[in-house]
Chain A
Amino acid sequence: MNAVETHNIVKTFGDIHALDDVSIEFEEGIVYGLLGPNGAGKTTLIRVLTTLLKPDSGSASVAGVDVVNDPVGARHKIGLAGQFAAVDEYQTGRENVEMVGRLYNLGKAEARSRAADVLERINLADSADRQVKTYSGGMRRRLDLATTMVGKPDVLFLDEPTTGVDLASRLSLWDLIEELVEGGTTLLLTTQYLEEADRLADRIAVIDHGKLIAEGTPDELKGKLGGDVVEIHVRDEDKFNALESLTRIAAEDPKVEGNSLSILAPDGSRTLTAVVRELDSAAIEPMDIALRKPTLDDVFLTLTGHKAVDENQRVVARSRRRGGS
């Protein structure tokens, strides 16, 4: 039995095709990553799969239960942590987890003991009896995660679990998520960060404007990109020559974006060194040169020929990636 199956899901809001014929399926016990920029449809798909939204057409099932026709049955099998931690500020961490446990139909004693277990696992046992309003952002996310675990769901849905979270918290959240999955929970997580999908997911589906545009293991996906990228920033007058130099080194045409040129770097730092030497011998002094890991934009440029987000949204996306709020 597949953990999650969707067939031809369509969901429109007025003129917007939030989900356009989306079909995915995956088996139990894996982490499935749904990768895409803001507005791609990730949250909409999660809402359909967690019975919060009914699709216009198509079918979906979670742990063998049809989410459209048997939403109540489906809810027993799922756990959802949305983009914004939905924890109650004025209750303690423990009270929050116990409350959700009761809503999963656990008896009082069982809710209490499971809550204690779960709080221990996410390292909040010490702060469990403080009100959530005293918690940091990272702690809130962890608590949110804890509340999804108390019901021992078959399939866990995490919608952008680390967006807007600072780097240290992000790393510890990743550790936590990996631990979770070790226990055998199936996980569908959505993200804008290729790095996150790469680290956590066994398989990734890339979604853009409501359509699935690629699917595969992280390696397969990165294989399409050829790995890391060397990116240089040059002055206007050097652009033409720099382009020539890069074309000599790279297997494919360099990508150009304003004064920024980039080529795939399959050999990592060797490619970087080659670029430096080539520019040097051409007497070009770049304003900036870097070897960087592929980002969502690179994925999208390769798959769709356009960037993941338009220029206006880039600034917001960048500051988010740096861990700003």
Chain B
Amino acid sequence: MHTATITKRNVLRFIRIPQLLLFSTVQPVMFLLLFNFVFGGAITTGTPAGSDQYINWLIPGILVQSAAFGATATAMGLTEDLTTGVIDRFRSLPMARSAVLTGRTLADLVRNTFVFSLMLAVGYLMGWRFEQGFWKMAVGFGVALLFGYSFSWVMAAVGLAVKTPEAAQSAGFLPIFPLVFASSIFVPTSSMPDWLQTFAEVQPVTIVANTVRSLMVPEEALGFLGLDQGTLILQSLAWIVVIIAVFAPLSVRQYKKAVG
């Protein structure tokens, strides 16, 4: 119940703080427009003709990308709460200790749900279609959400390890950039040099992006693209579980250390 109160408080901040609202909504849409219209024409994705518009390649990936970028807000928000005495106030209340962290990661989940829906709506206007029916798309949506949730725990650990919100943002983006750009979000990994390809193919962002993609592109394209739905879903879930299993306890430990 306390978690719900804290989640609500965090979600309200996303809506009412102009910079946060902008960062969560406008920025992902800009990325979508940028990559589709500026780069899209020059990228060959290997999808068979007829459904080879870049937008169809991009949309699954961009859900994952917006979740990753948006997670930096978790880091910054936690650092800010720590430095402004808000967490002290919470700690002197008979409030469940876990509520601070779970309230923040859950708020991220709520935010991502809205942001994803927005991206899909904009994507639809730009020509994106989900070719395997609603439920498969919903599963893809869910996988992306779960990945975003697991990533929030990574960012929580980062936010608790630094001293200022600005440092949290910088530290957050450090791992995010290579993970997002050296992945299959924007381009097929086969187009990368061998050394980069090795990294890109095994890292979780590629796996998750490919999973979502495998649930949205036409079934005929799966063979061409080398995507096996079942395997990919399992791999994504495995990554999600591992990430949470590592970073949730780590965050809790960091939290205890940060509050002395």
Residues of chain B contacted by A102 (CB below 8 angstroms): 1-2, 5
Range for the number of chain B residues in contact with chain A: 20 to 34
Whole-angstrom CA separation of A99 from B89 in the bound complex:
12
Range for the number of chain A residues in contact with chain B: 20 to 34
| In the complex, B88 has a CB within 8 A of chain A | yes
| In the complex, B16 has a CB within 8 A of chain A | yes
| In the complex, B93 has a CB within 8 A of chain A | yes
Whole-angstrom CA separation of A91 from B16 in the bound complex:
8
Contact of A51 with B91 in the complex, beta carbons under 8 Å = yes
| In the complex, B92 has a CB within 8 A of chain A | yes
| In the complex, A80 has a CB within 8 A of chain B | yes
Closest to B94 in A: A75
Binary B-proximity of A28-64 (CB < 8 A = 1, otherwise 0): 0000000000000000000000111100000000000
| In the complex, B41 has a CB within 8 A of chain A | no
| In the complex, A103 has a CB within 8 A of chain B | yes
Closest to B85 in A: A86
Whole-angstrom CA separation of A280 from B12 in the bound complex:
69
Given contacts A90-B12, A90-B13, A90-B17, contact A103 B85 (CB under 8 A): no
Closest to A54 in B: B260
| In the complex, A238 has a CB within 8 A of chain B | no
Whole-angstrom distance between the Cβ of A71 and the nearest chain B Cβ: 9
| In the complex, B239 has a CB within 8 A of chain A | no
| In the complex, A24 has a CB within 8 A of chain B | no
Binary B-proximity of A144-158 (CB < 8 A = 1, otherwise 0): 000100010000000
Q: Which listed residue (A82, A86, A88) contacts B9, Cβ 8 A?
A: A88
Q: Which listed residue (B2, B13, B16, B84) contacts A86, Cβ 8 A?
A: B84
Closest to A151 in B: B93
Contact of A103 with B17 in the complex, beta carbons under 8 Å = no
Whole-angstrom CA separation of A84 from B89 in the bound complex:
10
Contact of B9 with A91 in the complex, beta carbons under 8 Å = yes
Given contacts A53-B260, A86-B86, A90-B16, contact A100 B91 (CB under 8 A): no
Contact of A103 with B5 in the complex, beta carbons under 8 Å = yes
Q: Which listed residue (A52, A76, A82, A83) contacts B94, Cβ 8 A?
A: A76
Closest to B4 in A: A102
Contact of A103 with B94 in the complex, beta carbons under 8 Å = yes
Whole-angstrom distance between the Cβ of B10 and the nearest chain A Cβ: 10
| In the complex, B173 has a CB within 8 A of chain A | no
Of residues 294 through 310 on chain A, the ones whose CB sits less than 8 Å from some CB of chain B are none
Whole-angstrom distance between the Cβ of A141 and the nearest chain B Cβ: 13
Whole-angstrom distance between the Cβ of B88 and the nearest chain A Cβ: 6
List chain B positions with a Cβ less than 8 A from chain A.
1-2, 5, 9, 12-13, 16-17, 84-86, 88-95, 259-260
11 contacts between A and B (CB under 8 A): A82-B88, A86-B84, A88-B13, A88-B86, A90-B16, A91-B9, A95-B12, A99-B9, A102-B1, A103-B95, A151-B93
List chain A positions with a Cβ less than 8 A from chain B.
50-53, 72, 75-76, 78, 80, 82-84, 86, 88, 90-91, 95, 99-100, 102-105, 131, 147, 151
